[in-house]
Structure 1
């Protein structure tokens, strides 16, 4: 997998957020270094977050699929038993 890709708008917002973080917590940083830092995060750390998200989604899907029988099981050949039950209810 290559670096995680984000839209142009997300990139603008991420750069602004990083710049603000630096201004409030470290030393001010320019647009170019901030963009390079964002590239680094996306390439180096983005796949870690992405892979964890995939693992979380797989685990959730496995739980859902494992219980399909319980959730979706349909009783078979129930026409006559239901009809008999209705007839008994009328009496």
Structure 2
């Protein structure tokens, strides 16, 4: 079974407002950068493709970045957590 055919445990859900904003952005990008008008349905198809194909990579990178951030903060905090032990 190929990796693409396995269901992803990451389900990226966009609100209607987010989806509408992204669809408008895709249409605007095509109009301004590529001098091409695309329909709502083509923009929706592209958004679906990008969320499915790019979403997991972006999600995983965000999780990795958050993990590194938290680890760095915990490393800074660690010396203040321990009580000095007497050497007597």
- TM bracket (short chain): 0.7 to 0.9
Distance in structure 2 (CA, Å) of the matches to 1:47 and 1:39: 13
Corresponding residue pairs, total: 77
Distance in structure 2 (CA, Å) of the matches to 1:12 and 1:47: 21
**Residue 48 of structure 1 pairs with residue 57 of structure 2:** yes
CA contact (8 A) 1:4 1:46 kept: yes
For the residue of structure 2 that corresponds to 1:21, the secondary structure is helix
Unaligned runs of 5+ in 2: 1-8
The structure with the largest alpha-carbon Rg is 1
Unaligned runs of 5+ in 1: 78-91
Distance in structure 2 (CA, Å) of the matches to 1:13 and 1:48: 21
What TM-score do you get using the length of structure 2 for normalisation? 0.75
Higher relative contact order (CA 8 A, sep 6+): 1
Cα drift, residue 2 of structure 1: 4.0
Q: CA RMSD in A?
A: 1.9
